[in-house]
Every structure is written in C-alpha cells, then in structure tokens.
Chain A
C-alpha cells in the first residue's frame, strides 16, 4: 500500500474529529443525566417517554382532583358531624322531657334550647367550602336553607278533625281561650276577622275563613283563597281578585300573612303554657292534638350530584343534596320540621309530640350517620385510588427513568473510554507529526 503525506494527515485529523465528537456526546449525557434529550437520540424511547410524561401528568392531575374532592368531602363530614352532635343533644332532651315529672318551665327552657339548635343546624346546613355551599346540589351560589330570624319554618297547615267546633267570640277575653278571632295581613293591610260560632267540616271552615277575610279586605281590593286540601287548610295571601286561580298552596312566612296574633302572642318563655281548648282558633292554625305541621326549612338547592374525575373513566360523586340529608327526601326525616314540631310540643306540653320527637331524633341520627357513612366510603375510595396511583406513578417513573436517564457508572466509564480514545488518537497524531521522513536522514 502506498501511503501519501495527505493520507497520514487526513486520517489523523479524521480520527481526532470523530473521537472528539463522540466524547462531546458522552460528556453531554453525563452532564445532563439524560440519555435521550432529542427524539433522534432514540426515537422509540422518545415516544415512550412522551407517553410516560402524559401518564404521569394525568396521574398528578387526578391526584389533584382527588385532593380537591377530599377537602370537599372532609368539609361535608365535619358539618355532618356537627349536625349529629346537635341531634344527639336534642334526642337526649326529648328523652328527659318525656318524663311526666318535668314541669312546663323545664319544657320552655328546653324549647328555647331547641330553637338555638335549630338555628345551629341551619347554619351547619349552610356551610360553604371555598365560597360554595356544599349542600345545595349544583346551586352552589345559593344557600340551601334561607336563614332568616323571621322565618324559621313554614306553616303548611293543620290536621283537622272531621268536624271542628268554633265557640262564640268573647270580646272581654280577647287573649284568652274561646275566641275565634284572627288577624290577617295581606300586602301590608291588616284586618281582623271573627269567626262565627258553629260546627264545620274542613271544606266549610275553609270557605268560612275565606269569606270572612275577603269581606274584611273587600274595600282594599284584596283577597285570599282558602282551600281545604284534605286534612289541611291553605291560605293564599297573593290571590288578588281575578287571580284567584294562580295561587300557590304555600304561604310565604309570617311576614305576609299574620295569623292569630290575638290568640297566640309571642310566648313569654317563663309564663305557664295553657293547654289549648277545643274550639280555639289556634286549632285551625295548627296546634290541634299536637299535630301541627311545619315544613321546616324550604330547600332552595337542587338534587344534582356533581362528580370528580379520579382516573380516565372513574367518577366519584362529590356532594350530598341538602334535601336528602336534612329534609329526608328519600323516605327520611325532615330534621327541621321535627325540631319545630318538638319545640311546639314542648311549648304546648304535648306529651305525644315529645314522644314523636324521640323517635324522630333516632331516625334523624340514623339518617345523618348513613350520609356520613356514604362520605366515609367515598373518602376511602379516594384514598385507595390515590395510593394505587402513587405506586403506579412510582412504577411509571421507573420506566421513564429506564428510557430517559443514563446509568451514571456506565455513562462515565463510556465517557472515560471516549476520552482515552481521543487521547490515543491525539498521541498517534502527534507521533505522525514528529515522524521522521527520509529527509531527516539525508543530511
């Protein structure tokens, strides 16, 4: 083989160039710790790495979702815990009060306590988490229960016996028993009507009350409809003449229709409770036989349950609708109504009502515990998924690292090898440069 001068130099230079670029690559890998930093370093790995990145980011996001849900569920659980405590307190009071030895003063004090508990539970039901009401379904910007001191329960009517007897009105004893006078306020106009003495059926009393009220209101161009819905009397204060059909069968609070101011003044908590006499207009208004009917609080939210995404396709429901928890929408107990009924029973000394309250509170406790169990199961599920995901993420990270990261020992030894190769070619090249030619010997 002939060897020309240029061959020697070119092959030397080429060797230097290749070894230097190999060393640079090895150095890059060691200093970045990554084997693949461009797709062309290893296209198959690059594709896998992107996929692992996606999986990791999704898991991270799902964990984030889980955490948000956990916060929410914990807030729900602590609210329910509070509710349960309050209900247990009421249950204990109900048992105490069922003792016939208790006098009306004791009952009045407890009645005030029950009112406070009612307020307390309303506050708990209106708990918000991060500015959102947790018991409103999807109506997260509406408080599920309207917390208003003037309006702590909605009267939906009284259970009437088949026939009702109304005694003659005694003007000498307007605040006493035996009068059948009611005050009605409609659109700011207050009238007083006196019911006629007599015996009425449900339809008849409704009709009679309506006639009386409308007679009194006729000069103001106002009117109400009083319907007898089986076992219940309804008043419609909004029934303007001509719009009598458009009534809703609810009465929006004492602020618009005021009943019975005369016969039922704001109770003096320490005054002795008079058992209602038969024929008292109060019977019409709900206290007959202790079967007064309160709706409790009106639920203003909706029944929706929103969910969160905890993995690709797994959804975990997040919220509990207040209607279910507090109103017993699913064959449960209306906690607010039970409390109001209990309070009234206490005020009236209605032992049957107190007995009902004991069983109501038992059911309410069960109801709230049931909901708490639901929350607990959801939390466990979140926790399980989170743990599962954590171990999966660790595994994916390992896979990713296998594809992406260098084995440092291997990479460093590789780098040293490359370095040696470069040093070797440098020294060979230096030798070539110093290699004597024939010229050296031709002196």
Chain B
C-alpha cells in the first residue's frame, strides 16, 4: 500500500511538472524541467517504491555563455547598421543628388563662365553653384553631427536601462541564493528569469558572467585591463553618463561615478553606438573637412590671381579657412588662438626654377606649444618640430600655418592642438557677394573678355590636389566607397550575428525547449504509472479484504 502511495505521489508530481512544461511551451527562455525518479529501498535490500530524486532544468551552461556573446554582437551590429544606414543616406550621390553632383555643377558653371566671361547670368550662376556646394557640405556635416548626437542621446538612455537590468539581476541573485539555501533545490524558474535578463543586458553591453558554485553570479564588463564588475552577487554598480570635457557635447560612461569605461566596453549596442559616435562618424566628418578645406584653399589661391570685371584682384571666393586652436585642458593661460593658412612664402632663391612652394597639409594635426617665450610646432604624425620662420607674425612657412592670438595671454608651457581642416565643411561659405568680382581674367589688360583665369579655375576640377592625393571628386568617391564598404561589412556582420543568434537559440531550444510530443508521451506514461499505482492500492486493498474476509 505504501509503495502504491509513493507511486501516486511521485507521478502526480511528475504530471504537474509536465503540465508546467506544456504551459510554458511558448515562453521565451524557458528551460524544460525534467523529473528524475529513484527507487526507495529498505536497508535490508528490497524495494519500497519510488521517490522523486530531483526536478531539474535541462540547461546547457556552456551554451549560455555563447548565447550571451551572440546577443552582444547582435546588439552591436544592429546599432551600427541602423546608424550607418543613416550615414550612407547623407551621401546619396548615386541617386543623382549630393556633394559630387554639386562639385560637378560648380565646375560646369565655371566652364560656362570661361565661354562667356562677361555674361552676368554665367557669373550669377557660378556664385549660386558655389553657394549650393557650400550648403551641401554644411548640410552633410550637420547631418553627420546629428547622427552623432542621436547616438549620444541613445547612449545616455541605454545607461538607465542597463542600470535597471543590473539591479533586477542583483535582486534575483539574492532571491536565488536565499531560496536555494532554504529549499536546497535549484530555483529553475528564477534562474530562467535571470538568464533572460542577462541576455537582455548583454544585448546592450558586452558582459562576461562568472557563476560560482554557491549560485553567486558576477557580471563584468570591459575588455583588456579595464574590466569592471557590473554586478557582484546582490550588488549592482551604477553607470552614469556625464559630459566628457574632451568631446564637447558628448557624454562619457563612468561606473560608480569614477571609472571611465567608455572605450573599454567591448561589445553590445553601447559599443556599436560609441564606436560610431567617437570613431566612424568623426573620421567621415574629418574627411569632409579635408575636402572642404582643400577646395576652399585651392580655389581661393587661383581666384586671388585673377581680376574681376570691376578690376578687383586678390579676392577670396570662399570664406578662407580659419580654425580655432584647441587649448589643452591643463593650460594656465587664457589665450584663444586662431589659425589660418599663411601666404605663399617667397622662394629663397627667386631664380631657382625647381623651387616648389610648400602647400598646407589638410589632414595633419599639430601641437603648438609655448615654452620660454618661444612657439614650437610639432607634427603629431611625424614628430617633426619646427619654429616660426617669420617671428613677428608667428608664421610657420613650411607648414603654411599662421597663428593669431585673438585674446587672452599665454603662460609658459601652454599647449594647443591644431588641425587646419577641423570644422571646414561646417563653416564653408561663399564670401564673394558681387558676381562682377569673380576673377575670370588673369590680367587687368584682358578685361572684360579675358577668360584665362576662368579656365584655370575650371581646370582645378581635374587637378590632383596634393593634400588629398586625388582630385576633389576622386577623394569624395573614395570616401563614399569607404562608407559603402563599412555599411556592407556591418550589414554582413549583422546577418552573421543574426544567423549565429538564431543558430544558438535553436541549439538551446534543442536541448531546453519543450516538445509537445515528448510531453504528451510523458504525460501518458505518468498517467499510466499513476493509474497502475492506484490499481496497486486497489489490489492491495482487495488482498487485504481477502485476508479480512478469511477471518469471517
């Protein structure tokens, strides 16, 4: 009778586990539970029935780690692909509109001007095309900046979500530990929930999970030497987004208010956003700046050499390149410094036909330092150091850099960072307002019909510009190809990550998912066992009845 009772109890429990499984057939992240029976025996050695040894979740712990990293890549490449698609849309030249088209139109207008240098319509069109070219560069730069800002605000809001998730996981850690200490049995459902939250967390930020035998869980993030514990047992660290003084307008991510982990986050959506905001988009903007700066410089240089219809000369067509030097944060002085391209230096030997005047290098970065009353300029790529060649005006002739202290004073040891092209795309504008001043003639005597300078200006279109090592349009096509490549790579990465995540999920499902057929089979088998156990009790009862009946 006792054997039957144990059988009934065990199988009733098994049937309830099966129902639990069936009920959760569509629950994401649910791990099916399995009942392990064991026989009970008397010390003398004969069996006394069955009992449930354990109800366990069927989980592949090794797979769990892989799923986390799969989620992280998925998050990262999702963010990257989403934003890169927006970046790509800024460069929409293949659909007939964009910077390339504007450059083309501008030079076409110059060709037309060379055909009819006195035409007021031709002149007005050159001015208008110049304006729309400037506008196109300003707009593209603005759109890229907006993408950076969007990435930044998403980073800020994701930080809050990550904090909420970390807190939940830490709380779950505590619940699991305490309930497992009391009950001694694994809390499958709480663990499943924790796994689900970890998956969600890893989609946002790359994490590594270390689970101790005690059930204590530590989550760390970061890579290389800069790893930080996000969750340690029931303690969750707080991430916060604070303004980054090195990147005006953008936030950095700090843990518990002190450790900056912005650039050590190795994976997840945050990594994707940060990489885009701090590496990819700034690179593309820098290249646009180089294009704008060299276009302005090359065009103005040629324009200055010609004469307008009204006899004016040495006029700038575009507003000249003018940038602010970025002071180092440790500067003690208050000086604000403006940097321009210096005039073409006089050749040392005017009779030397092989002399080539130095060109400004748009794309190089320099460090200007003020030491013992002297300025020094260091090229940050080559490490070359030079001194001003024209002392009273602070001009570095070889670099074609001219320094102008706008306001404030310098203190010994002050340093500044200088890139001649920085911000050129965003600041591009046509300076000339009178179309008559467009210099089509190369000599005053040639007015009004002279078109030599207009031809030279038009020919700039096919010039190999030294600081771009390409033509303007060639450089731009290169930039576009680079962006296209990057988008393609990130889309490919995304589809790999997606396939990987799908595959891992399938593998998890294969092991842990609920199969209705299987559960039905189990249900029937448990039901039969239950019925048999009941029958056993009836039989035992009948046997007993027989024994009792014998007495009468």
Interface set of A (CB-CB < 8 Å, partner B): 1-7, 10-11, 14, 34, 36-44, 46-47, 49-51, 53-54, 57-58, 61-62, 64-65, 68-69, 130, 132, 136-141, 302, 304, 306-309, 312-313, 315, 404, 437-439, 442
List B residues 4-58 near A (Cβ within 8 Å). Answer: 25-26, 32
Contact of B112 with A by CB under 8 A = yes
Q: In the complex, which residues of chain B have a beta carbon less than 8 angstroms from the beta carbon of A40?
A: 84, 88, 483-488, 491
Q: Which residue of B lies closest to A11 (CB)?
A: B506
- Report the Cα distance A226→B37, complex, angstroms: 141
A38 lies within 8 A of B88 (CB): yes
Indicate the member of A49, A138, A304, A438 with the most B CB atoms within 10 Å: A138
A138 lies within 8 A of B104 (CB): no
CB distance from A306 to the nearest CB of B (A): 5
Q: In the complex, which residues of chain B have a beta carbon less than 8 angstroms from the beta carbon of A2?
A: 510-511, 513, 515, 518
Q: In the complex, which residues of chain B have a beta carbon less than 8 angstroms from the beta carbon of A69?
A: 115
B451 lies within 8 A of A39 (CB): no
Q: What are 23 A-B pairs at a CB distance below 8 A? A: A2-B510, A2-B511, A3-B515, A4-B512, A4-B515, A5-B515, A7-B513, A11-B506, A39-B481, A43-B480, A47-B484, A53-B93, A132-B118, A136-B449, A138-B446, A138-B447, A139-B448, A140-B449, A307-B452, A308-B115, A309-B458, A315-B455, A438-B516
Q: In the complex, which residues of chain B have a beta carbon less than 8 angstroms from the beta carbon of A39?
A: 88, 91, 94, 480-481, 483-485, 487
Q: Which residue of A lies closest to B58 (CB)?
A: A2
Indicate the member of A6, A139, A308, A312 with the most B CB atoms within 10 Å: A6
B452 lies within 8 A of A306 (CB): yes
List B residues 508-523 near A (Cβ within 8 Å). Answer: 509-518, 520-521
Q: Which residue of B lies closest to A52 (CB)?
A: B477
List B residues 406-464 near A (Cβ within 8 Å). Answer: 441, 445-452, 455, 458-459, 461-462
Contacts A40-B88, A438-B520 hold; do A50 and B445 have CB atoms under 8 A apart? no
CB-contact partner of A10 in B104, B455, B509, under 8 A:
B509
B520 lies within 8 A of A442 (CB): yes
CB distance from B313 to the nearest CB of A (A): 16
A439 lies within 8 A of B118 (CB): no
Contacts A69-B115, A141-B118 hold; do A302 and B445 have CB atoms under 8 A apart? yes
Q: In the complex, which residues of chain A have a beta carbon less than 8 angstroms from the beta carbon of B488?
A: 40-41, 43
CB-contact partner of B108 in A47, A61, A136, under 8 A:
A61
Contact bitstring B334-365, A, C-beta under 8 A = 1, else 0: 00000000000000000000000000000000
CB distance from A319 to the nearest CB of B (A): 8
Contacts A64-B112, A309-B111 hold; do A57 and B477 have CB atoms under 8 A apart? no
Other than A68-B116, A138-B441, A139-B449, give 15 A-B pairs with Cβ distance below 8 A: A2-B518, A5-B26, A7-B510, A10-B502, A39-B480, A39-B481, A39-B484, A40-B485, A50-B477, A53-B93, A69-B115, A306-B117, A306-B451, A308-B114, A308-B451
Contact of B146 with A by CB under 8 A = no
CB distance from B399 to the nearest CB of A (A): 31
B520 lies within 8 A of A304 (CB): no
Contact of B540 with A by CB under 8 A = no
CB distance from A311 to the nearest CB of B (A): 9
Contacts A7-B510, A50-B480 hold; do A140 and B118 have CB atoms under 8 A apart? yes
- Report the Cα distance A404→B512, complex, angstroms: 48
B524 lies within 8 A of A442 (CB): yes
Q: In the complex, which residues of chain A have a beta carbon less than 8 angstroms from the beta carbon of B459?
A: 309, 312-313
Q: Size band of the B side of the interface? A: 35 or more
A7 lies within 8 A of B449 (CB): no
Q: In the complex, which residues of chain B have a beta carbon less than 8 angstroms from the beta carbon of A312?
A: 459, 462
B100 lies within 8 A of A6 (CB): no
Please name the 10 residue pairs, one residue from A and one from B, whose CB atoms are nearest each other, closest first: A4-B513, A39-B484, A43-B484, A40-B487, A138-B449, A47-B481, A140-B449, A50-B477, A43-B485, A68-B115
- Report the Cα distance A7→B518, complex, angstroms: 14
CB-contact partner of A61 in B93, B111, B481, B521, under 8 A:
B111
Q: Which residue of A lies closest to B495 (CB)?
A: A18
CB distance from B492 to the nearest CB of A (A): 10
- Report the Cα distance A138→B455, complex, angstroms: 15
Indicate the member of B114, B445, B449 with the most A CB atoms within 10 Å: B449
CB-contact partner of A437 in B107, B118, B516, under 8 A:
B516
Q: In the complex, which residues of chain B have a beta carbon less than 8 angstroms from the beta carbon of A64?
A: 108, 111-112, 115
- Report the Cα distance A209→B486, complex, angstroms: 92
Q: Which residue of B lies closest to A66 (CB)?
A: B115
Contact of B505 with A by CB under 8 A = yes
- Report the Cα distance A62→B95, complex, angstroms: 23
Contacts A2-B518, A7-B513 hold; do A46 and B446 have CB atoms under 8 A apart? no
Q: In the complex, which residues of chain A have a beta carbon less than 8 angstroms from the beta carbon of B505?
A: 10
Q: In the complex, which residues of chain A have a beta carbon less than 8 angstroms from the beta carbon of B524?
A: 442
- Report the Cα distance A5→B483, complex, angstroms: 42
Q: Which residue of B lies closest to A2 (CB)?
A: B510
Q: In the complex, which residues of chain A have a beta carbon less than 8 angstroms from the beta carbon of B518?
A: 2
- Report the Cα distance A437→B518, complex, angstroms: 10
Q: In the complex, which residues of chain B have a beta carbon less than 8 angstroms from the beta carbon of A11?
A: 502, 506
B506 lies within 8 A of A46 (CB): no
- Report the Cα distance A300→B451, complex, angstroms: 19
- Report the Cα distance A306→B117, complex, angstroms: 10
Q: Which residue of A lies closest to B100 (CB)?
A: A50
Q: In the complex, which residues of chain B have a beta carbon less than 8 angstroms from the beta carbon of A50?
A: 93-94, 100, 473, 476-477, 480
Q: In the complex, which residues of chain B have a beta carbon less than 8 angstroms from the beta carbon of A54?
A: 100, 104, 473, 477
Q: In the complex, which residues of chain A have a beta carbon less than 8 angstroms from the beta carbon of B516?
A: 5, 437-439
A46 lies within 8 A of B480 (CB): yes
Q: In the complex, which residues of chain B have a beta carbon less than 8 angstroms from the beta carbon of A47?
A: 477-478, 480-481, 484
- Report the Cα distance A166→B104, complex, angstroms: 75
Contact of B64 with A by CB under 8 A = no
Contact of B474 with A by CB under 8 A = yes
A46 lies within 8 A of B449 (CB): no
CB distance from B514 to the nearest CB of A (A): 6
CB distance from A360 to the nearest CB of B (A): 31
Q: Which residue of A lies closest to B489 (CB)?
A: A40
CB distance from A3 to the nearest CB of B (A): 6
Indicate the member of B91, B448, B484, B521 with the most A CB atoms within 10 Å: B484
- Report the Cα distance A65→B459, complex, angstroms: 13
B477 lies within 8 A of A51 (CB): yes
- Report the Cα distance A439→B451, complex, angstroms: 90
Q: In the complex, which residues of chain B have a beta carbon less than 8 angstroms from the beta carbon of A136?
A: 449
- Report the Cα distance A439→B462, complex, angstroms: 76
- Report the Cα distance A130→B448, complex, angstroms: 15
CB distance from B71 to the nearest CB of A (A): 15
Indicate the member of B115, B502, B505, B517 with the most A CB atoms within 10 Å: B115
CB distance from B147 to the nearest CB of A (A): 16
Q: In the complex, which residues of chain B have a beta carbon less than 8 angstroms from the beta carbon of A130?
A: 116
- Report the Cα distance A11→B503, complex, angstroms: 9
- Report the Cα distance A5→B30, complex, angstroms: 12
- Report the Cα distance A307→B117, complex, angstroms: 11
Q: In the complex, which residues of chain B have a beta carbon less than 8 angstroms from the beta carbon of A309?
A: 111, 114, 455, 458-459
Q: In the complex, which residues of chain B have a beta carbon less than 8 angstroms from the beta carbon of A137?
A: 449
- Report the Cα distance A307→B518, complex, angstroms: 89
CB distance from A371 to the nearest CB of B (A): 19
Q: Which residue of A lies closest to B445 (CB)?
A: A302
B491 lies within 8 A of A37 (CB): no
B450 lies within 8 A of A437 (CB): no
CB distance from B498 to the nearest CB of A (A): 9
- Report the Cα distance A420→B296, complex, angstroms: 54
- Report the Cα distance A53→B95, complex, angstroms: 11
A438 lies within 8 A of B506 (CB): no
Q: In the complex, which residues of chain A have a beta carbon less than 8 angstroms from the beta carbon of B88?
A: 38-40
Contact bitstring B524-540, A, C-beta under 8 A = 1, else 0: 10000000000000000
- Report the Cα distance A53→B474, complex, angstroms: 11
Q: In the complex, which residues of chain B have a beta carbon less than 8 angstroms from the beta carbon of A138?
A: 441, 445-450
Q: In the complex, which residues of chain B have a beta carbon less than 8 angstroms from the beta carbon of A304?
A: 445-446, 449-450
Contact bitstring B247-266, A, C-beta under 8 A = 1, else 0: 00000000000000000000
Q: In the complex, which residues of chain A have a beta carbon less than 8 angstroms from the beta carbon of B476?
A: 50
B520 lies within 8 A of A439 (CB): yes
